[in-house]
């Protein structure tokens, strides 16, 4: 069955693919779906995550045959070469110069769980490395330096003008993150005050304690705003993985624990 390909800016490509433990009909069906999708889109390689299935499975063309690689791992590399890389996750026409190994050796399992190995070089090596990157939540952007990556991301945004307003996908910036950052900055400032007992007088220490209490009182307010606004964004960007309610609750819970720890530190250490 032909499946829809994940394309930029869908963040599901960042999922880490789980190793496959059961070599059964469910796996065979996955491989056949990958094969159908690969042939339909005229691809020379595909990973399961590209059809939104986070499992460690790759199909790759080598001459006229298609090799199935389950739980593939790099075991040795040799050489380096710079290539102008493209892949179907990004829009047509987008490419970036990155470095890939010239030769690689990988081990993997076939659809029956039998251990195999493969030596590859040249274009086959490049394709395999690209697909293995996908298994671990990586794309070619992760191979770029800081400045090159920023430039590439600007190009992608310019090519995808609707990135902030097509509901099914994720925007590059969430409003909710400003509230989260504000809460973290306040807690960070409070943490800096922990050196106060060593360097200030008792009077100044008492003033710092008062400021810390005000800062800590603002953090829960920002957390509540973050939680409420995150739910609003979750309704807009329904397919965005970071918008799922479980992630929102998890992030809020982590901030709550951080706040508790910092607050205990203030009242046990800073309080005069």
Q: What is the CATH number of the domain that holds 155?
A: 3.90.45.10
Average pLDDT of the segment spanning 21-43: 95
Identify which has the larger pLDDT, 241 or 266.
266
- Give yes or no: residues 204 and 233 share one domain: yes
| Domain match, 205 and 180 both | yes
Nearest to 171 by CA among 223, 242, 90: 242
Quick one: 144 and 19 in the same domain? yes
Provide mean pLDDT across the span 130-144.
91
Instruction: Tell me which range, 62-76, 184-198, 236-250, is most confidently predicted by mean pLDDT.
Output: 62-76
Tell me: do 18 and 103 sit in the same domain.
Answer: yes
What 34-41 contacts at long range (C-beta under 8 Å, 24+ apart), as own/partner pairs, is 34/3, 34/59, 35/59, 35/66, 36/1, 36/2, 36/3, 37/2, 37/3, 37/5, 38/66, 40/2, 41/5, 41/88
Say if residue 123 is in the same domain as residue 257. no
Percentage, residues of the chain above pLDDT 90: 51
Question: Which pLDDT band, with edges at 50, 70 and 90, does 167 fall under?
Answer: very low
- Tell whether 105 and 180 lie within a shared domain: no
Whether residue 76 sits in one domain with residue 130: yes
- pLDDT at position 120 is 95
What mean pLDDT is reported for the chain? 87
Domain count within the chain:
2
Enclosing domain of residue 74: 11-159
> Considering only CA atoms, which of 61, 105, 60, 57 is closest in space to residue 79?
105
Please give the residue that has the higher pLDDT: either 203 or 42.
42
Whether 79 shows a pLDDT value over 90: the answer reads yes
Q: Which of 44-48, 72-76, 85-89, 235-239 has the lowest mean pLDDT?
A: 235-239
- pLDDT confidence tier of residue 18, bands split at 50, 70 and 90: very high
Is 80 exceeded by the pLDDT of residue 166?
no
Residues 77 and 143 in one domain: yes
Pull the structure tokens for residue 226.
């973050």
Domain boundary, last residue among 159, 188, 207: 159
117 and 199 co-located in one domain: no
| pLDDT on residue 61 | 94
Q: Is residue 167 assigned to a domain?
A: no
The pLDDT score that the predictor gives to residue 165 is 39
166 domain-assigned? no
Residue 49 inside a domain? The answer is yes
DSSP 92-125: TT--EEEEE-SEEEEEEE-TTS-EEEEEEEHHHH
pLDDT for position 160: 61
Decide which of 101, 134, 159 is a domain's last residue: 159
Q: Which residue has the higher pLDDT, 103 or 269?
A: 103
As a whole-number percent, the residues of the chain with pLDDT over 70 amount to: 90
Give the integer Cα–Cα distance in Å for 4 and 6.
Answer: 7
**Which of residues 132, 159, 186 is at a domain's end?**
159
- 44 and 102: one domain? yes
**The pair of three-digit structure tokens given for residue 128, joined into one six-digit string:** 């395999």
The pLDDT value recorded for residue 164 is 37
User: For 29-43, what is the mean pLDDT?
Assistant: 95
pLDDT value at residue 121: 94
Q: Is residue 78 part of a domain?
A: yes
Q: Does 119 share its domain with 19?
A: yes
- Looking at the fold, whether 262 and 134 belong to one and the same domain comes out as no
Domain-located, residue 168: no
Q: Which of 185, 187, 186, 209 is nearest to 196 (CA)?
A: 209
Pick the residue with more confidence: 87 or 234?
87
């Amino acid at each position: 069955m032909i499946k829809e390909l994940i394309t930029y800016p869908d963040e599901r490509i960042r999922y880490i693919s789980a190793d496959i433990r059961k070599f059964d009909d469910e796996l065979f069906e996955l491989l056949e779906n990958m094969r159908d999708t690969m042939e339909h889109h005229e691809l020379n390689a595909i990973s399961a995550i590209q059809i939104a299935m986070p499992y460690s499975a790759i199909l790759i063309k080598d001459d006229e045959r298609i090799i199935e690689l389950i739980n593939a791992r790099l075991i040795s590399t040799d050489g380096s070469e710079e290539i102008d890389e493209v892949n179907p996750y990004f829009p047509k026409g987008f490419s970036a110069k990155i470095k890939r190994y010239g030769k690689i050796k990988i081990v993997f399992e076939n659809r029956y769980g039998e251990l195999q190995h493969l030596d590859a070089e040249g274009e086959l090596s490049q394709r395999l490395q690209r697909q293995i990157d996908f298994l671990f939540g990586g794309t070619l952007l992760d191979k770029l330096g800081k400045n090159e990556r920023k430039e590439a991301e600007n190009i992608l945004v310019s090519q995808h003008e609707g990135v902030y307003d097509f509901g099914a996908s994720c925007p590059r910036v969430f409003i909710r993150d400003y509230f989260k950052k504000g809460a973290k900055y306040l807690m960070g400032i409070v943490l800096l005050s922990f050196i106060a007992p060593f360097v200030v007088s008792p009077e100044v220490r008492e003033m710092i304690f008062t400021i810390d209490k005000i800062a800590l009182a603002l953090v829960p307010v920002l957390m509540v705003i973050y939680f409420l606004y995150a739910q609003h964004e979750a309704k807009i960007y329904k397919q965005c993985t970071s918008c799922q309610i479980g992630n929102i609750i998890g992030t809020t819970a982590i901030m709550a624990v951080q706040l508790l720890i910092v607050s205990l530190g203030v009242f046990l250490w800073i309080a005069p």
